Chain A
């Protein structure tokens, strides 16, 4: 069966979709990714869809779901590199994916993930300091 490769980069997972998504593939990705997040305890997921030229409503919804699921598993998801045509299609389909982070390219997506991670880390550190002070 076809799988979309999921790469590990430090505490992030990297998914690059290089083929046209069909329904089954999207479902498989959803399974694989959620499994992998719980296995690796990843902090962030970056999904690069810059090679994706067509999306339908189903794939669009799955993308949104994947992002929400990983959020539940405590991994922040960033969808990067969406093509204009894809963005227009999703908007026309009424899928605005308002609760999902987006970035222009992999580089910016990574920066976004890192900065969010630093923020939470700092918070944790700060809490720990507080506890120590008590």
Chain B
């Protein structure tokens, strides 16, 4: 294959290409408010200069090569910020793909031989497609990271450990108990026991819809671990339906203090600590 003309074209017409490209972007850019004009232009300029540099070094077919390193990291950065700013995937990809129009126009003007033109356009398309895919990948990755972080935060939010009294902690559980969540729950409860020096912990499962053997086993583990650390653990909020399930499943809860309501558990926790509550005025 003969020497590609793309580097030369980029070199000669960099300023023109930039101008045409930004105009092109301006016409497609539907949501103009999301990004400043100047910022976009700056990005275009950077892209173009990095593109020229990388192409100048000769590798036009593989963007995984070393000279594309800077280009790749720049595009990754752009797609990350795009995904955070709320751009749609196609809007993000358009940034790269819209460069085709001005570049191909120039190439058509400069290259007379149709066969050569065809080859060069194929080369450029290939290259820009790869870069476009790279932006998409980075965009997707950034989105996934956000989702993952939110999942973790949700998990932490959904298992709050509450201090009910001096020495009494409560852990109200809402939703379903799966392995990861129970692990997290166990860790946060035990950590809180150490931090506050609480002697009693109440796990309230009023908000748990169903209890299966696995869930019960997790609960028992938590109770045992708390006991090993020197804290008493109770389970409260066991609904009649769940009590029936537990018995049918043959789960042994004899070593665990269980109460029907959180209030009952709290009362017996107070008793355990030697505290009492009295009404200051007769009802």
Contacts and interface: CB of A to CB of B under 8 A. Distances in A.
Most buried by B among A79, A83, A88, A108: A88
A47 to B, nearest CB: 12
B191 interface: yes
A92 B230 CA distance: 17
Interface stretch (A22-30, A98-106, A125-133): A98-106
Contact of B199 (A82, A88, A96, A104): A104
Interface string A77-99: 00111111011101110001110
A82 B224 contact: no
A82 B193 contact: no
A100 B228 CA distance: 8
A84 B227 contact: no
A25 B229 CA distance: 22
Given A88-B190, A104-B193, A80 B221 contact: no
A44 interface: no
Interface residues of A, number: 21
B199 A90 contact: no
A68 B224 CA distance: 18
A80 B199 CA distance: 12
Contacts of B191: 84
Interface in B188-219: 190-191, 193-194, 197-199
B230 A80 contact: yes
B115 to A, nearest CB: 69
A84 B161 CA distance: 15
B256 to A, nearest CB: 11
A81 B230 CA distance: 8
B203 to A, nearest CB: 15
B199 A87 contact: no
Interface of A: 79-84, 86-88, 90-92, 96-98, 102-105, 108-109
11 contacts: A81-B230, A84-B190, A84-B229, A86-B228, A88-B186, A90-B225, A91-B225, A92-B221, A96-B228, A104-B197, A109-B230
